[in-house]
Structures are given as C-alpha cells and as structure tokens.
Amino acid sequence: MKNSWQRIILAGLTAMLLIAGTFSLAKAAVFWPFDEEVRITDEAPVQLRNLFAFGQKIEIDADIIHKDLFVIGMIVNISSEVENNLYVGGQDIFIEGAVGGNIFALGNTLRISGVVDGDIFAMGSTIVLEEDAMVHGEIFAGTHVFRLNGQVMDDVSVNCNSAEISGTVLGRFSLKAREKVEIFEGALIQKLFYESPEEAFIAEGAEVRKISYTVLKPTDKPVRDTEFLKGLIRGMAVVDWLASILLGFILIILLRKPTLDIMDNAVRKFGISTAFGLTFFIGVPLAILILLLLIVGYKLALVAGIFAFFIWSLSSTLAGILVGVLLQYWIVRPRKELSAYINWISVLLGVSIFKLLLLLPVLGWLVRLLLVCAVIGAILMCIGSSLKSSAPKSKVEASTHTPE
C-alpha cells in the first residue's frame, strides 16, 4: 500500500499512452466547444466518438459514447454508456452510465453508480461506490473517505483516512486506514487485509470470511503530513499533465502555423536552437538577479521573469508535442512532411511520454532539458524572424529594391 499513489499515477499515464498509441487506427476525435454549461445528448450533429469535453458544468446524456471519453470540468455528470475508457477530472464527478473499459478519475468528490467492466484508478477527497454500482475489475484508490456500498468482483486496494463498507468485495481487499474502518450489516468481504490504529468495527450481519489485521503504530503518524504532501504533489503532476494536453490542443488548432514553424526550427536547426535555449535558460535568471540587485531595475526584472515563465510553460508543452511528432515521423511509413504529424495524436502521445521522462533519473531529465532548450531556442528564433520581417526597411535597403 505504500506505493498506491504511484500505482494510480503510473497506471493512468500508461493507459493514456496505450490508448493514444492506438488512436491512429480510429477516426478523428470530436472536440466539443468549451462553454460554461455543456450538455451533450443524442441530438449532437456528429457521431460521439473519442469525445473531448471541457467546461464549468458538464452533463453527458447521450445513449452511448463510442470509443473513449475525456472530460474536464467543475461539475461533471455522465449518464451515457462509454464504450471504452473514461478519463475524467473535476470538482464533483457523478458517473451513472456503464463503462466498457477503465475509469481514470481525479476530483474532490467521485460517485459511481453504474457498471464498470474494467478497473478504476481514482484520487479524491471522497470516493463513493453507490449501491447500484458493479465493478468487474480492480479498484486502486487514494482518498480521505472511502465508501463502498456496491459490488466489486476483483481486488480492491485503498489508502485512506476512513473506510465505510456495506457492499461486496469478492477479491482481496487491501486497506490502509489512518483513522477507522467500519463494516456494516449486509457487507460481504472475501479476504480483508487492513492496517489501522484500531480494529475495525464489524456489525452483526456483516460477513468477513478471512481477515488479517496489522496495527498502524503511533510512529507512523508523523509520516502522515509527508504522505499527504507527496499525494498532493503527485495530484498536481496529473493536473499539470491534463493542462499541458489542453494547451497542446489549443496550439495545434488555433496557432497551427507558429507551432509548425517552431517544430521546424527545433528539428532542422537542433544545434543552434539548443544553444540559444541553454543561453536563455542560464542567462535570463542571472539577468533578473542583477536587475534586482540594482533595485531600480526591479520592474525590468519583473517583466523578464513573467516573459521567462511564459516561455518556459509554453516550451514544456511544445517539447511534448515535438516528441509525438518525432515518434510518428520515425514509425509511420511512408514518411511525410513534419506538418502532417502535428495532430492530436502527437499531443496525447508526446505530452504523456514527455511527462514520464521524469521517472528516469539523470537520462530522462537530460533528455527533457535538451528538448525544452531546443524548443526555447526555436521560439526565440521565430520571435526574431517575426520582428525582423516587421521592422521598417532602411533607406539603403529600400533604394536597392526601387524599380527602374
């Protein structure tokens, strides 16, 4: 159970990679327009296949979503059947429809009341499996409060503060609860292996066929804040991953020409762009420090800091897209121009692999640094070219172009 948070993060990212790798065999995805309130029904003008939806309040009430569903919003209510996998992030998430694949969820409150054929990977403050819910696969969860009222046909692994069980677990139930475990009447657990400061409350009418209890020692309690901090950092990593994917879609859809120019410079002028990027990476922080020491230069330091943060945030997403473009260029036959590979496959596949490089000590970090520096240099070269082309020509240059 010590690695449950890591298992959740890695499983989610790995699954996204596998899905993204097979997307080239599917038709194009459907990107639903962003709005404060989004409601998707069978009256949609297109077939709902590989659907992406973003908004404040999202309600999906179509009969079926073909292939996969990707949803990010504050309040998310999914009543539709999802043919394959469901990827969802939000404040309050309600999943009422059947899911044919796995569920990957990150939110404050998660409530599931439908049938899930695959596994569930979830992080949140409160996770509830309602009475009507049935999960044929496994559950991996990290949460504050875990309530299981439905049925799970396979194993369950949970790291939480408190657990309330009144449903059925036919596999192995591995549980670490830092406060309490309560098993109510009607519960049926095949094998329960749990850690807690005190023994679980087991009501009359509850059936636990095999049980193993390990005392959570007082010496483990100081680690609690550290574990929470680690979980928070990993949760932020998932949010950063989702934000990078969203930014990537914006770049390839709304800013396709500048994105293509940056990719072209980063690939065809890799050495020069990397050198420019390293100079920017080292020189800008030094320049900001010098300006701050001069006191009167604090405003320039602030502007330079904002510009550097903007370039860095943009370059990390573009570096992920670059990874996806290069992978497609090397794998797909016959080869085409780079512009043909700037698509949503590059965003999903490239950004995911770029984030996973953090898990490779030294080598992964070095590759990330080189890619980011190459993209930063490419961005600076594009900015320079744009400024040069927009600058007024000198009199000498104008006279050389005067028609006879």
**Taking 60 as the threshold, does the pLDDT of residue 268 lie above it?**
yes
| Residue 63 near residue 46, CB atoms below 8 Å | no
Q: What is the pLDDT of residues 142-190, one digit of tens each?
A: 899 999 999 999 999 999 999 999 999 999 999 999 999 999 999 999 9
Which residues have a Cβ under 8 Å from the Cβ of 184 and sit 6 or more positions away? 164, 165, 166, 203, 206
Long-range contacts of 95-103 (CB under 8 A, 24+ apart): 101/68, 102/15, 102/137
What does the pLDDT read at residue 29?
67
Closest to 316 in 3D by CA, of 378, 264, 371: 371
d(CA 75, CA 73): 6
pLDDT in tens, 291-342: 887 777 778 888 888 888 888 888 888 888 888 888 887 877 677 777 778 8
Supply the mean pLDDT for the chain: 81
Q: How far apart are CA 74 and CA 184, in angstroms?
A: 32
Structure tokens at 367: 């590759």
Which tokens is 84 given?
């394959």
At residue 212, φ and ψ (nearest 5 deg) are -135, 125
- Integer Rg of the chain from CA: 26
Per-residue pLDDT at 267 exceeds 90:
no
Distance CA 122, CA 145 (A): 12
Strands 49-60 and 64-78: parallel
Mean pLDDT of 88-96: 90
| Least trusted range by pLDDT, from 70-74, 332-336, 364-368, 377-381 | 332-336
Scored b (16 or more CB within 10 A) or e, 244-258 reads: bbbbbbebbeeeeee
Q: Which helix (H) or strand (E) holds 115?
A: strand 115-116
pLDDT at 254: 85
Give the pLDDT of residue 10.
42
Which pTM does this prediction carry?
0.56
CA–CA separation, 16 and 25 (whole Å): 15
Write out the H or E segment, with its range, that includes residue 119.
none
Confidence (pLDDT) at 357: 80
Structure tokens at 313: 């945030």
Is the confidence at residue 114, as pLDDT, over 90?
A: yes
